[in-house]
Amino acid sequence: MRPETILVPVDESRASMQALRRAVGLAKRVGARMRIFHALVHRSDRRHADEHRLEWLDRVGEQARDLDVDYISHDEPSVFEGIAHVCEETRADLIVMGTHGGGFLASSVAETLVRRAPCNVMVCRSDASGDWPASAATILVPVDHSDNALRAAQYARELVDERDRLAFLHVVSTPDHPDVHGSEVPAPLGADPELEARIVRRTRNWLDDRDADVTAVEGDVVASILDHAQLRNAGLVVMGTKGLTGLTRLVIGSVTERITGMCEVPVLTVR
């Protein structure tokens, strides 16, 4: 289940270098091939394709001396279509990309990839903190006992080594409105002193790991995950996603998508 081919879309931004550096470290860690993709979305870019190739391969050359690295460029009608096309062409099973970098890898492209890419996606902000996978870190996996969350947990296990710590977080959503009589609804964990312990036991059974590092908290789901990632000094957050689109996404929203855009460390979404 660990990634075998990592695709890194790049532009001229700082975010690209952040993603590229982490992709190199991850490829070394899991023994994956790496493909660097530059979309030629402007006709004039064709004249500079060879320059781009030499530039990007030079940037990763020393870092990725033992890696199988290719540079790919294409004329594409849009950045997303280019990435999706090359992902299918190279049979990539993980995309690592930067966002908020000021280039074509804007947040809208990252959001589209998280929803629609044919494989898993790891998004790195240009100002992402930490240095994982170059150094050890806590890998945080929010879980809700769904099949998507279980896939994320299994994938996270493939990425960690003996130096890392794998931590699981279950968030009990706190009611944000009074009951029909106008009284405040008691917080779930406060109303039932045994609930936290039961959630931890159930999660460990669900993970088939009685020693798993599991924490149960209550509150807003997005805020709790972001706060816990900071509290645990996480180097990576791994989350399952349904890839919601259209009306379903508008009605339900996507916790994963919001975490991807707001988290201070890289977020890896698992389909």
pLDDT of residue 5: 96
Q: Nearest 5 degrees, angle CA 46-CA 49-CA 53? A: 170
DSSP E strands, 87-164: 94-99, 120-125, 138-142
Mean model confidence pLDDT for the chain: 81
Q: State the Cα torsion 78-7-254-214 to the nearest 10°.
A: -170
Q: Is the pLDDT of residue 209 over 90?
A: yes
Is-contact 102 125, C-beta < 8 A? no
Give the model's confidence band at 190: pLDDT under 50 very low, under 70 low, under 90 confident, else very high: low
Q: How far apart are CA 102 and CA 145, in angstroms?
A: 37
Q: How far apart are CA 16 and CA 38, in angstroms?
A: 11
Question: Percent of the chain scored above 90 by pLDDT?
Answer: 39
DSSP state of 104: S
CA 246 to chain centre: 21
Is-contact 139 270, C-beta < 8 A? no
pLDDT of residue 85: 85
Q: Is the pLDDT of residue 73 over 50?
A: yes
pLDDT of residue 48: 63
Give the model's confidence band at 115: pLDDT under 50 very low, under 70 low, under 90 confident, else very high: confident
Q: Which two tokens stand for residue 217?
A: 């908290």
For 149, 190, 193, 255, the CA distances from 219, given in Å and listed in that order, are 19, 12, 16, 14
Per-residue exposure over 239-271, b if at least 16 CB sit within 10 Å of its own CB, e if not: bbbebbeeeeeeeeebbbbbbbbebebbbbbbb
The distance in angstroms from the start CA to the end CA of the chain is 12
pLDDT tens per residue, range 14-31 = 888 888 889 999 999 999
Higher per-residue confidence, 92 vs 57: 92
pLDDT tens per residue, range 139-180 = 999 999 989 899 999 999 999 999 999 999 999 887 655 554
Q: Is the pLDDT of residue 54 over 80?
A: no
Q: Is the pLDDT of residue 79 over 50?
A: yes
pLDDT of residue 170: 94
DSSP state of 11: -
Of 149-158, 179-188, 257-266, the least confident: 179-188
Q: Which residues contact 109 (CB under 8 A, 6 or more apart)?
A: 79, 80, 83, 97, 99
pLDDT of residue 80: 82
Q: Is the pLDDT of residue 102 over 50?
A: no
| Cis ω for the linkage preceding 118 (within 30 of 0) | no
pTM confidence score: 0.85
**Short-list 164, 159, 146, CA closest to 207:** 146
pLDDT of residue 137: 95
Higher per-residue confidence, 117 vs 213: 213
